Chain A
Amino acid sequence: MGFFTQLVTDPGGFYRGHELLVAQCGINAMLAVSIWFTLYSGQLALATAGFMAIGGYTSVVLAIHGHVPLPVGTLAGCVLAALAGVAIGLPVLRLRGVFLAIATIAFGEALRFGLILNLPLTGRGQGLTNLDADPTGGILPVWISVSVLGYLGWSITRTRLGHAWAAIREDELAAAAAAIHVRAHKLAAFVIGAVIAAYAGALDAHLNFFVDPTEYGFDRAVQVLVFAVLGGIGSVAGPIVGAVGLTALPEAARWASDYREVLYGVILMLVVVFRPQGLVARRRGTRPRGRAGRRPRPRSRGGPAAARTD
Chain B
Amino acid sequence: MVIGQQLLDGVFIGSIYALFALGYTLVFGVLDIVNLAHSAVFMLGAVFAYSLVALHGVPFGLAAPVGVVAAALLGAVIEFAALRPLRRRGAPPIAPLVSTIGLALIAVALIEQARGTGPLSWLWRDGANSVSFPAGTVPQTTYHLAGLILPLPKVITLLVSVGLMFALAYIVRRTQSGRAMRAVAENPGAAALLGVDVNRVILVTVMGASALAGLAGILFAVAISDVSPYIGRDEVELRGLAVIVLGGMGSIPGTILGGYALGLIEALALLAFGSNARVGIAFAALFLMLVLRPQGLLGSRLTERV
Contact = CB atoms under 8 A, between A and B. Distances in A.
- Residue in B82, B84, B105, B300 with the greatest tally of chain A CB atoms within 10 Å: B105
B295 A307 contact: yes
Interface stretch (A15-23, A108-116, A148-156): A108-116
Quick one: which of B84, B89, B188, B279 has the most chain A CB within 10 A? B89
What's the dominant secondary structure at chain A's contact region?
Answer: helix
A288 interface: yes
Interface in B239-256: 241-242, 245, 248-250
B300 A265 contact: no
B250 A98 contact: no
B106 interface: yes
Contacts of B192: 293-294
A110 B281 CA distance: 7
B59 interface: no
A158 interface: no
Interface in A239-296: 258-262, 264-269, 271-273, 276-277, 287-296
A307 B302 CA distance: 12
**Which of B97, B283, B302 is the most central at the interface, judged by chain A CB atoms within 10 Å of its CB?**
B283
Contacts of B233: 219
A230 B95 CA distance: 9
Contact of A102 (B245, B248, B300): B245
Given A107-B287, A118-B276, A305 B302 contact: yes
A276 B91 contact: yes
A304 B97 contact: no
- Most chain B CB inside 10 Å of its own CB: which residue of A94, A113, A225: A113
Contacts of B116: none
A278 B148 CA distance: 55
Nearest to A98: B34
Contacts of A92: 287, 290-291
A222 interface: yes
* Chain B interface SS verdict (over half): helix
Contacts of B34: 98, 101
B98 A115 contact: no
Given A218-B237, A293-B192, A268 B250 contact: no
B247 to A, nearest CB: 12
B235 interface: no
Contacts of A301: 32
Nearest to B198: A293
A127 B286 CA distance: 26
A293 B199 contact: yes
Contacts of A265: 101-106, 109
B92 A277 contact: yes
Given A102-B286, A303-B295, A272 B95 contact: yes
A260 B105 CA distance: 11
B252 to A, nearest CB: 14
Interface string B207-235: 00000000000000000000000000100
A140 B281 CA distance: 40
A118 B94 contact: no
A268 B102 contact: yes
A266 B102 contact: yes
| Interface size, A (range) | 35 or more
Contacts, number: 199
Contact of B91 (A258, A267, A272): A272
Contacts of A225: 97-98
Contacts of A124: 276
In this complex, the member of B32, B102, B113, B188 whose beta carbon has the largest number of chain A beta carbons within 10 angstroms is B102
A289 B283 contact: no
Interface string A205-234: 000000000000011001001100110000
B275 to A, nearest CB: 10
Contact of A295 (B87, B278, B283): B87
A106 B110 contact: no
Contacts of B134: none
B4 interface: no
A81 interface: no
A291 to B, nearest CB: 7
Interface string B103-124: 1111011101100000000000
B97 A113 contact: no
A287 B233 CA distance: 34
A114 B281 contact: yes
Contacts of A101: 34
B88 interface: yes
Given A105-B238, A113-B277, A261-B109, A288 B90 contact: yes
Interface of B: 28, 32, 34, 36, 81-82, 84-95, 97-99, 101-106, 108-110, 112-113, 188-189, 192, 198-199, 233, 237-238, 241-242, 245, 248-250, 276-281, 283-284, 286-287, 290-291, 294-295, 299-302, 305
User: Which 4 A-B pairs give the minimum distances between C-beta atoms?
Assistant: A114-B280, A268-B102, A261-B109, A113-B280
9 contacts: A97-B93, A106-B287, A109-B238, A261-B108, A261-B113, A272-B99, A276-B91, A290-B90, A304-B300
Given A114-B281, A293-B192, A302-B250, 7 more contacts: A95-B290, A105-B241, A106-B286, A113-B283, A229-B97, A261-B113, A301-B32
